[in-house]
Homo-oligomer: A and B are copies of this chain.
Amino acid sequence: MLVEELRAPLTASVLKAAEESSRAPVGRDGILNVAARLFREQGYGAVSLRRIAEAAGIKAGSIYYHFGSKDEIVVAILDEGIWAVHDRMRRAISDVSGGDAATVLRAAIRAHLRALLDVSDYSSANVRIFGQVPQSVRDANLPARRAYEAEWDGLLSRLKADGALREVVDVRRLRLMLIGALNATLEWFDPERGSAEALASAYADVFLNGVLTKRSDPAWPS
């Protein structure tokens, strides 16, 4: 709207300045953006500091002006990745507060999946490389993870207290199951075969209702 029109000439001038100097600063955020994309695409082991620098248009040594170590970069990306998905999930369930269990659960599933597949290189990089990074890096990311897990556990506990979830379902296990299943989509999701939106709908439907035409009793005790 009006704001955008006012902003347009500003960005134009910035771009112009960038072209003129030919030395547009990449900076901390530029490095993180590039690194997050590379980690998401290629995994942790395949991405060296030299590769990150090359993709960012600088030299490897220059990275140490902004970061103290490679691990520091990775931790920053992992934390931002959790924060991004946590924030979107919290907003999503807040937007439908008061809705029934199915609506709330669908909103949470949709927010998590869209954060991974549509929105954030940081969130998808987190899922992709968390299992590949050194233990110390994992430890540094754990508090953010715990907080996000607690958000899910809180949501699921409320639904269970309302009697919306079947008794057989354990909250912690269901959370692990759900997030694990959603994260796994990263390995094969192809936007040309269908949108993240449609995928979220399909996942929600299976998790809420199951795949059988008729419900079955468990064939063996849990």
Contacts and interface: CB of A to CB of B under 8 A. Distances in A.
Interface string A74-114: 00000000000000000000000000111101100000000
A139 to B, nearest CB: 16
Contacts of A176: 184-185, 188
Interface residues of A, number: 53
A16 to B, nearest CB: 40
A213 B164 contact: yes
B102 A205 contact: no
Interface in A149-171: 163-166, 168-170
Interface in A124-178: 128, 131-132, 163-166, 168-170, 173-174, 176-177
Nearest to A165: B211
Interface stretch (A1-9, A115-123, A214-222): A214-222
Interface stretch (A24-32, A50-58, A63-71, A196-204): A196-204
Copies of this protein chain in the complex: 2
Contact of A205 (B132, B209, B222): B222
Interface of A is mostly: helix
Contacts of A12: none
A210 B207 contact: yes
B185 A131 contact: no
A97 to B, nearest CB: 15
Contacts of A168: 202, 205
Given A102-B219, A177-B181, A211 B211 contact: no
A174 B219 CA distance: 21
A45 interface: yes
A216 B166 CA distance: 13
25 contacts: A43-B132, A44-B132, A106-B219, A106-B220, A131-B187, A132-B132, A163-B213, A164-B212, A166-B209, A166-B212, A168-B202, A168-B205, A174-B211, A176-B184, A177-B203, A181-B184, A198-B222, A201-B222, A204-B219, A206-B207, A208-B212, A208-B215, A209-B210, A209-B215, A210-B210
